[in-house]
């Protein structure tokens, strides 16, 4: 194993540029140049000599810093002048001194080193993009074999050495302004020789060119030989972005069926908003929100005698739902670092506050507010048929939906999060409108409201049972920050709080069955509600062991190094993005991934099941999600020889056992000589 000469704290495999970057939105790298501890040099040398030989001591001297002139880096634009709407490549040239090399991107780690070996890839970060220019993802060259001896005998290591050229595709907008342009890049690498890997370095380079006036022409290539390795296919996405400002089609996946459409133009944008609204409406049928429907029906039932008041209360709640989603869209559009709905759960305070508010609502449903309670508590009591109460209840209903996602919604939100603010806001407003629609219809057509008991013993039982269910929801939201606090990524978070959640669910079911037998002599109602309570309680007790465990799959918990090792072996890598607050994730895991046929598939040779737990602060996991141009979970990503190991992975936010089986077969087809589907 090589004598790496730094304490490795840098996340590996971060050198791909995965999103097209507009003017001035380049990512600023923070890789620091490591300086050696000069004052400790004599002690380190003496210790090396004492521990066994001058060669090992010489390797340790690498702690003093990297060798001078090991690598020289420059950036060269293909053309000195480019016309608006035209394209060029930028070559990033790394010239290595004799006997030096660096890790490729992604690193290819020999099995002798072990999967957890801290290899640091060569990276190219886009620091600043000139006005009127779009860039595509970096094209990396194939590595070459070099012979090293890191204490285990001579071994061939795949590396960048000699002259290595990577390329960045660049496209000028059709309306790009005339004038000079400079693309700023930061190149990071770890230089190694035959026996030692030195501290990582980073060098800033610039590629200068000129944008011609409208109607002008591009200059001929300055050094055609330098660009012979460039693949012009890299221009395809960049060209589309420069022409229209979009980042590609919207791909909607529903249980393995993929529908694609372009959101360009009025018709395309309308289809996008319709897709978002449909996803928002389906949110009401997720386990996060479904229990709220009878609560709102009961609250509206108090106003059922007045059609106008019923409509006003329904509209108030719908407005609360839409306003919440507009706030989320605004945060994604305007707040740096807030790039997905799940960002709310990356800080424990959000889940904690939601848990406390839901607990207040629950005790209100149980009748505790009949005793003196703070005035503010009545505002969030869903049984209060007030205008502000309905609005806040709409906000709370939308908040409760955040741990879940729905078919159609995830794809629309992922695409919209990368667009201009007006498109982002419109898309999230459509999600809110779709989610609010059932409540508005309930107030406009109150037949369902009239079926809910408004007073008497039956109404009290409904309130009490719903209150106990909401206490279960409150425990869930309070358990998430506790699990996050106790978690150390990449290890999984504890799930012990599920026992408390199920306790309240069983209490609600038991109380429903018990009180039904007390208040009605009708055996049909006793059988219906008593049987339903018994069935739900039994199912909850049966499921709690699975909910509180990590399941039957031997998951490898994600680190960039583990992923790179699986990719180097040519494995099919199945990555499950999940979190303790994501109820859809739990449902898909229990209903699909934990079923015996799928468990057998994921335990086959050549398949690596990998999990990314986003419960708490997991920056490398969030970076992997962003790499896939996705903003929410659940998400199952399948990588393999046929799909590659970057953002071309197969992606599913809803799936069946058949979907997983087909995806595994498609991802490994290249190994059998077939083309991927």
- Among 295-299, 323-327, 361-365, which stretch is predicted with the lowest mean pLDDT? 295-299
Winning range, highest mean pLDDT, from 233-247, 340-354, 465-479, 538-552: 465-479
**Helix 387-400 and helix 348-365: axis angle, to 10°?**
130
The dihedrals phi and psi of 454, each to the nearest 5 degrees, come to -100, -25
Who has greater pLDDT, 79 or 40?
79
For residue 462, the Cα-to-chain-centroid distance in whole angstroms is: 38
Place of tokens 């996405």: 237
Helix (H) or strand (E) holding 93: strand 87-96
Q: In the predicted model, what is the mean pLDDT of residues 229-255?
A: 55
573 contact partners, CB below 8 Å, separation of at least 6: 563, 566, 567, 607, 608, 610, 638, 639, 640, 645
Predicted pLDDT of residue 578: 87
Predicted pLDDT of residue 115: 57
| Exposed e or buried b per residue across 119-140, where buried means at least 16 C-beta atoms within 10 angstroms of its C-beta | bbbbbbbbbbbbebbbbbbbbb
Q: First-to-last CA distance in the chain? A: 40
Winning range, highest mean pLDDT, from 86-95, 254-263, 405-414: 86-95
For residues 337 and 326, give the distance between their C-alpha atoms in angstroms, rounded to a whole number. 17
pLDDT tens, residue by residue, 519-539? 888 888 888 888 888 888 888
Predicted pLDDT of residue 68: 61
- Among 53-67, 240-254, 580-594, which stretch is predicted with the lowest mean pLDDT? 53-67
Predicted pLDDT of residue 134: 83
For residues 207 and 74, give the distance between their C-alpha atoms in angstroms, rounded to a whole number. 8
Predicted pLDDT of residue 52: 37
Q: DSSP letter string over 419-435?
A: S-HHHHHHHHHHHHHHH
Predicted pLDDT of residue 573: 94
Q: Do residues 304 and 286 lie in contact, with contact meaning Cβ atoms separated by under 8 Å?
A: no
Predicted pLDDT of residue 552: 85
Q: In the predicted model, what is the mean pLDDT of residues 154-158?
A: 88
Query: How many C-beta atoms lie closer than 10 Å to residue 208's C-beta?
Result: 14
Winning range, highest mean pLDDT, from 209-213, 457-461, 479-483, 619-623: 209-213
Asked whether residue 400 carries a pLDDT value surpassing 90, the answer given is no
Query: How many C-beta atoms lie closer than 10 Å to residue 177's C-beta?
Result: 14
Q: Which of 245, 254, 432 is nearest to 327 (CA)?
A: 432
Q: DSSP letter string over 508-575?
A: HHHHHHHHHHHH---HHHIIIIIHHHHHHHHHHHHHHHHHHS--SS-PEEP-HHHHHHHHHTT-EEEE
pLDDT over 70, % of the chain: 68
Domains belonging to the chain, first-starting first, are 3-244 (no CATH), 254-452 (no CATH), 556-672 (3.40.30.10)
Q: pTM here?
A: 0.48
Predicted pLDDT of residue 271: 80
Who has greater pLDDT, 433 or 406?
433
Predicted pLDDT of residue 287: 64
Tokens representing 547 are 């909910």
pLDDT band, very low/low/confident/very high, at 76 (cuts 50, 70, 90): very high
pLDDT band, very low/low/confident/very high, at 291 (cuts 50, 70, 90): low
**Facing residues of 218 across strands?**
none
300 contact partners, CB below 8 Å, separation of at least 6: 310, 313, 314, 385, 442, 443, 446, 449
Predicted pLDDT of residue 164: 94
For residues 17 and 27, give the distance between their C-alpha atoms in angstroms, rounded to a whole number. 9
- Among 179-188, 207-216, 558-567, 581-590, which stretch is predicted with the lowest mean pLDDT? 581-590
pLDDT band, very low/low/confident/very high, at 447 (cuts 50, 70, 90): low
Predicted pLDDT of residue 113: 76
Winning range, highest mean pLDDT, from 88-97, 188-197, 324-333: 88-97
Q: In the predicted model, what is the mean pLDDT of residues 188-204?
A: 87
Predicted pLDDT of residue 281: 85
Q: Which of 443, 426, 446 is nearest to 316 (CA)?
A: 443
pLDDT over 90, % of the chain: 11
Winning range, highest mean pLDDT, from 133-137, 262-266, 503-507: 503-507
Average per-residue pLDDT for the chain = 74
604: exposed, middle or buried (C-beta count within 10 Å: 0-12, 13-18, 19+)?
exposed
Predicted pLDDT of residue 292: 65
Q: Which of 461, 373, 35 is nearest to 381 (CA)?
A: 373
Asked whether residue 654 carries a pLDDT value surpassing 80, the answer given is no
Q: In the predicted model, what is the mean pLDDT of residues 406-431?
A: 74
Asked whether residue 44 carries a pLDDT value surpassing 60, the answer given is no
508-514 long-range CB contacts below 8 Å, 24 or more apart?
508/465, 508/466, 508/468, 508/469, 508/472, 509/533, 509/534, 509/536, 509/537, 509/540, 510/537, 511/461, 511/464, 511/465, 511/468, 512/461, 512/465, 513/537
Tokens representing 123 are 């990276």
Asked whether residue 177 carries a pLDDT value surpassing 70, the answer given is yes
Asked whether residue 88 carries a pLDDT value surpassing 70, the answer given is yes
Q: Do residues 112 and 153 lie in contact, with contact meaning Cβ atoms separated by under 8 Å?
A: no
- Among 27-31, 231-235, 380-384, 554-558, which stretch is predicted with the lowest mean pLDDT? 27-31
Tokens representing 275 are 């897709």
pLDDT band, very low/low/confident/very high, at 48 (cuts 50, 70, 90): very low
Q: Rounded to whole angstroms, what are the CA distances from 253 to 261, 411, 426? A: 12, 8, 21
pLDDT band, very low/low/confident/very high, at 302 (cuts 50, 70, 90): low
């Amino acid at each position: 194993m090589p004598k790496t000469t730094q304490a490795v704290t840098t996340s590996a495999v971060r050198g791909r540029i995965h999103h097209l970057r507009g003017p001035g939105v380049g990512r600023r790298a923070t890789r620091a140049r490591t300086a050696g501890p000069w004052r400790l040099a004599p002690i380190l040398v003496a210790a090396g000599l004492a521990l066994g030989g001058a060669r090992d001591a010489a390797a340790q001297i690498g702690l003093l810093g990297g060798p001078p002139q090991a690598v020289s880096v420059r950036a060269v634009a293909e053309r000195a002048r480019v016309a608006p709407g035209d394209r060029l490549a930028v070559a990033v040239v790394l010239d290595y001194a004799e006997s030096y090399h660096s890790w490729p991107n992604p690193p290819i780690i020999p099995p002798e080193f072990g999967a957890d070996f801290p290899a640091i890839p060569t990276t190219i970060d886009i620091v600043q993009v000139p006005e009127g220019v779009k860039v595509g993802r970096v094209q990396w060259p194939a590595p070459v074999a070099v012979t090293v001896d890191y204490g285990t005998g001579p071994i061939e290591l795949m590396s960048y050495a000699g002259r290595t050229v990577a390329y960045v595709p660049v496209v000028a907008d059709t309306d790009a302004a005339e004038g000079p342009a400079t693309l700023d890049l930061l190149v990071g690498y770890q230089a190694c020789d035959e026996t030692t890997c030195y501290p990582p370095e980073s060098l800033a380079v610039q590629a200068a060119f000129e944008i011609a006036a409208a109607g002008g022409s591009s200059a001929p290539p300055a050094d055609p030989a330098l660009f012979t390795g460039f693949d012009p296919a890299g221009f395809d996405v960049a060209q589309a972005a420069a022409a229209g400002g979009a980042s590609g089609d919207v791909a909607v996946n529903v249980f393995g069926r993929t529908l694609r459409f372009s959101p360009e133009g009025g018709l395309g944008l309308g289809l996008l908003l319709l897709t978002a609204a449909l996803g928002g409406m389906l949110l009401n049928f997720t386990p996060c929100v479904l229990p709220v429907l009878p609560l709102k029906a009961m609250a509206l039932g108090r106003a059922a005698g007045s059609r106008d008041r019923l409509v006003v209360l329904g509209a108030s709640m719908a407005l609360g739902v839409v306003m919440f989603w507009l706030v989320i869209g605004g945060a994604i559009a305007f707040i740096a670092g807030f790039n997905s709905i799940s960002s709310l759960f990356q800080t424990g305070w959000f889940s904690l506050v939601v848990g406390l508010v839901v607990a207040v609502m629950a005790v209100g449903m149980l009748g505790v507010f009949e005793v003196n309670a703070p005035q503010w508590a009545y505002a969030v009591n869903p049984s209060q048929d007030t205008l502000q109460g309905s609005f806040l209840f709409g906000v709370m209903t939308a908040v409760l939906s955040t741990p879940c996602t729905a078919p159609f919604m995830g794809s629309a939100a992922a695409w919209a999060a990368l667009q201009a603010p007006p498109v982002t806001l419109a898309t999230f407003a459509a999600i809110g409108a779709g989610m609010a629609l059932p409540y508005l219809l309930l107030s406009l057509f109150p037949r369902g409201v009239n079926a809910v008991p408004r007073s008497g013993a039956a109404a009290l039982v409904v309130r009490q049972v719903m209150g106990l269910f909401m206490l279960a929801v409150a425990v869930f939201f309070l358990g998430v920050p506790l699990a996050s606090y106790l978690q150390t990524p990449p290890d999984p978070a504890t799930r012990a709080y599920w026992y408390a959640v199920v306790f309240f669910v069983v209490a609600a079911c038991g109380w429903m069955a018990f009180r039904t037998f007390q208040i009605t002599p009708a055996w049909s109602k006793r059988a219906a509600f008593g049987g339903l309570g018994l069935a739900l309680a039994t199912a909850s007790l049966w499921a709690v062991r699975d909910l509180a465990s990590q399941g039957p799959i031997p998951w490898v918990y994600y680190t960039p190094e583990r992923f790179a090792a699986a990719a180097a072996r040519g494995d099919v890598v199945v990555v499950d993005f999940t979190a303790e607050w994501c109820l859809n994730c739990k449902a898909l895991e229990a209903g699909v991934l934990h079923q015996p046929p799928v468990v057998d598939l994921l335990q086959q040779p050549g398949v690596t099941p990998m999990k990314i737990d986003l419960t708490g602060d997991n920056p490398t996991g969030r970076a992997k999600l962003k790499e896939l141009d996705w903003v929410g979970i659940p998400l199952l990503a399948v990588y393999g020889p046929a799909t590659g190991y970057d953002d071309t992975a197969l992606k599913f936010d809803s799936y069946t056992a058949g979907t997983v089986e087909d995806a595994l077969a498609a991802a490994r087809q290249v190994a059998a000589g077939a083309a991927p589907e």
